[in-house]
């Protein structure tokens, strides 16, 4: 696996404020890599240091093994799709798309051909002679994409490119972007605060918070094996329960759930016996037929179509959410009823903090 971008202990300070607190990442060639995190966690800042719009305070960024710290943006083989598109308002769509090629000194004939090819790729061939203001938001977004792809960069940076689009268009663009990445083979670094978007598109995800990377992994690992409370909470819906770890041996841990039931689950590295938390996804809980792991009192049942959501509380008041498939077999408990819940084997994930 060849490394496209190596980010080594990068720190970015604005005055006294640290926007990036020592970020290290290795992004592979041809990878669809996503930076995911809540607003203000430093995703844009990290992207801007890669593009060259911001200097780093400390640390190094390497592009295909070459340190790019001293290179201005125009010398980096990296193109950006800006959050607000930043299309040149005085140029036609064709000239916008051809701009990078013109700056690279590509001859007019080839420039025209390649701009046309790019517009074809994003289904905008009929709009080549329009000005950006004469396009819809979705079309502008695709022009921005075509403009950034036209010079054939080795890395494409995308800063929440879909956030300004409505839901339908956003979902369609997810598929298109993913396909585009696969056909072009360009390394994509994609920024979003939308976990669903991240899970749907990425080869790997880096979850960020507070200027730090919390976890890096493929969507499945991030979703099913979050390493800490932040990641577990941020990605999808989850139940975080306080537990006692009684013993750790051979990568397994014996834990006591609230209510006293004991079960064993995978340990995580660096885990010591004592008070900890586990994350249990709502869909990994079910109504107990016999021996229950958890006992809770139902507060509300919400009908969601394909699913049912059971909102309940444990004896100590901890809220717990259960997702049940909507099938005629289910006999639904009423509000106020006491139910037993079964935790699917391996579903209780120990968290480090």
Partner 1 sequence: MAAAPHASGSLATGWRSLAVPLMLPTWLVIGTFLLVPVVLMGVYSVLTKDFRGGVVWEFSLAAYDQFFVTRGLFGDEPPQIEWTYIAIFWRSIWQAALATLLCLLIGFPTAWFIATRSPRHRALWVFLITVPYWVNLLIRTVSLRFLLRDQGPLNEGLLAIGVIDAPLRIINTDVAVQLGLFYSYLPFMVLPIYAAVERYNFALSEAARDLYAGPWTTLREIVLPVVKPGIVAGCILVFVPSLGAFLAPDLLGGAKTYMIGSLIDEQFRGSMGNWPFGGAVAMILMSLVLLVLLWQARAAGRGRR
Ligand X SMILES: Nc1ncnc2c1ncn2[C@@H]1O[C@H](COP(=O)(O)OP(=O)(O)O)[C@@H](O)[C@H]1O
240 vs 100: CA distance, rounded Å: 49
| Part in contact with Mg ion (CB under 5 A); list of ranges 43-51, 197-205, 209-217, 339-347 | 43-51
If one asks whether residue 147 binds partner 1 (CB under 8 A), the answer comes out as yes
DSSP element (H, E) containing 110: helix 108-121
Cα-based angle 65, 66, 67 (whole degrees, multiple of 5): 120
Looking at beta carbons only, is 148 or 298 nearer to partner 1?
148
If one asks whether residue 217 binds ligand X (CB under 6 A), the answer comes out as no
For residue 53, the minimal CB distance to Mg ion (Å) is: 13
- Which residues, including other chains, have CB under 8 Å from residue 108's CB and lie 6 or more apart? none
If one asks whether residue 53 binds ligand X (CB under 6 A), the answer comes out as no
For residue 58, the minimal CB distance to partner 1 (Å) is: 23
If one asks whether residue 216 binds ligand X (CB under 6 A), the answer comes out as no
269 vs 225: CA distance, rounded Å: 12
- Which residues, including other chains, have CB under 8 Å from residue 312's CB and lie 6 or more apart? 296, 297, 298, 299, 319, 320, 321, 322, 339, 341
| Part in contact with partner 1 (CB under 8 A); list of ranges 17-25, 46-54, 182-190, 251-259 | 46-54
For residue 334, the minimal CB distance to partner 1 (Å) is: 53
Place of tokens 């390394």: 187
Looking at beta carbons only, is 144 or 280 nearer to ligand X?
144
117 vs 37: CA distance, rounded Å: 34
For residue 82, the minimal CB distance to partner 1 (Å) is: 6
Instruction: Kindly tell me which residue out of 12, 33, 41, 44 binds Mg ion, with binding defined by CB under 5 A.
Output: 44
Instruction: Kindly tell me which residue out of 34, 45, 187, 202 binds ligand X, with binding defined by CB under 6 A.
Output: 45
If one asks whether residue 42 binds ligand X (CB under 6 A), the answer comes out as yes
Closest residue by Cα to residue 322 from 307, 337, 335: 307
Q: By the 8 A CB rule, do 147 and 99 touch?
A: yes
Q: By the 8 A CB rule, do 115 and 108 touch?
A: no
**How many residues line the site for partner 1 (CB under 8 A)?**
23
For residue 163, the minimal CB distance to Mg ion (Å) is: 9
| Partner in contact with 303, chosen from partner 1, Mg ion, ligand X, none, beta carbon below 5 to 8 Å by kind | none
Q: By the 8 A CB rule, do 265 and 346 touch?
A: yes
Looking at beta carbons only, is 44 or 92 nearer to Mg ion?
44
For residue 157, the minimal CB distance to ligand X (Å) is: 12
If one asks whether residue 49 binds Mg ion (CB under 5 A), the answer comes out as no
Q: By the 8 A CB rule, do 255 and 326 touch?
A: no
DSSP 169-195: HHHHHHHHHHHHHHHH-PEEEEEES-H
If one asks whether residue 53 binds partner 1 (CB under 8 A), the answer comes out as yes
For residue 44, the minimal CB distance to ligand X (Å) is: 3
Residue 40: CB atoms within 10 A of its CB come to 13
If one asks whether residue 80 binds Mg ion (CB under 5 A), the answer comes out as no
Residues that bind ligand X in the complex, under the rule CB under 6 A: 14, 17, 19, 37, 39-45
Q: Give the residues lining the site for partner 1 (CB under 8 A).
A: 51-53, 72-74, 78-80, 82, 84, 86-90, 99-100, 103-104, 147-148, 151
């Amino acid at each position: 696996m060849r490394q496209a971008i190596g980010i080594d202990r990068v720190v970015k300070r604005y005055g006294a404020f640290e926007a990036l607190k020592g970020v290290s990442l290795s992004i592979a060639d041809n990878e669809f890599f996503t930076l995911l995190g809540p607003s203000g966690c430093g995703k844009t800042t990290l992207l801007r240091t890669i593009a060259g719009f911001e200097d780093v305070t400390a640390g190094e960024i390497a592009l295909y093994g070459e340190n790019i710290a001293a290179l201005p943006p125009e010398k980096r083989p990296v193109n950006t799709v800006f959050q607000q598109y930043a299309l040149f308002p005085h140029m036609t769509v064709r000239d916008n798309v051809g701009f990078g090629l013109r700056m690279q000194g590509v001859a007019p004939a080839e420039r025209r051909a390649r701009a046309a090819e790019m517009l074809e790729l994003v289904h905008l061939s009929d709009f080549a002679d329009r000005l950006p203001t004469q396009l819809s938001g979705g079309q502008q977004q695709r022009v921005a994409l075509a403009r950034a792809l036209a010079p054939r960069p080795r890395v494409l940076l995308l800063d929440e490119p879909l956030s300004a689009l409505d839901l339908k268009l956003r979902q369609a663009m997810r598929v298109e972007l993913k396909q585009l990445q696969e056909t072009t083979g360009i390394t994509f670094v994609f920024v979003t605060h939308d976990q669903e978007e991240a899970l749907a598109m990425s080869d790997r995800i880096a979850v960020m918070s507070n200027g730090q990377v919390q976890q890096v992994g493929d969507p499945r690992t991030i979703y099913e094996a979050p390493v800490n409370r932040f990641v577990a909470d941020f990605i999808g819906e989850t139940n975080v329960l306080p537990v006692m770890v009684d013993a750790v041996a051979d990568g397994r841990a014996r834990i006591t759930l609230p209510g006293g039931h004991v079960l064993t689950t995978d340990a995580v590295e660096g885990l010591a016996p004592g008070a900890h938390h586990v994350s249990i996804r709502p869909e990994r809980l079910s109504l107990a037929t016999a021996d229950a792991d958890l006992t809770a009192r139902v507060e509300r049942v919400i009908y969601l179509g394909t699913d049912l959501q059971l909102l309940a509380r444990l004896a100590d008041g901890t809220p717990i959410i259960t997702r049940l498939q909507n099938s005629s077999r289910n006999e639904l408990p009423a509000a106020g009823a006491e139910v037993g819940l079964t935790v699917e084997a391996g579903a209780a994930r120990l968290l480090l903090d």
